[in-house]
Homo-oligomer: A and B are copies of this chain.
Amino acid sequence: MNIGDVSQASGLPAKTIRYYEDIGLVLPLRGGNGYRDFRESDVHKLTFVSRARSLGFSIEECRMLLSLYEDRTRASADVKDVARSTLDRIEVKIAELNAMKATLSTLVKKCHGDDRPDCPILDNLSEAPA
């Protein structure tokens, strides 16, 4: 299977797949012409990574999940740990963004947004620290 087909199948750009090979996430074979030759298992792995990434797992977490996936004897608790720490990171990020959103939307609401130069947004940014 060539990289283009794998790209189709996994939903990942070819560039990204080459990058994933670079960092050792997949190790496709090579044909006589130098082309990468992907096995079904490579495609499966890449699809796996593609989804894990879209769920917010980092590359290193994906690497860990893959190795857990390949270890038929691993405990589900190990996987759950990775997932939970990802979930924690996501929740922290959401909280931060919500705080930003709250402040910013208050400011946007306060700003009359007309031709006059006075603006509560800039005023707030340049105020003395609390």
Binding site for B on A (CB under 8 A): 11, 44, 47-48, 51-52, 54-56, 65, 68-69, 72-77, 79-80, 83-84, 86-87, 90-91, 93-94, 97-98, 100-101, 103-105, 107-108, 111-119, 121-122, 124-126, 129
Contact = CB atoms under 8 A, between A and B. Distances in A.
Contacts of A129: 11, 47
A87 B65 contact: no
B79 A122 contact: yes
B52 A125 contact: yes
A97 B113 CA distance: 30
Contacts of A55: 100, 103-104, 125
A119 to B, nearest CB: 4
Given A73-B117, A75-B117, A125-B48, A91 B83 contact: no
Contact of A119 (B56, B80, B94, B115): B80
Contacts of A125: 48, 51-52, 55, 65, 69
Contacts of A11: 129
A97 B90 contact: yes
Contacts of A83: 104, 107-108, 111, 121
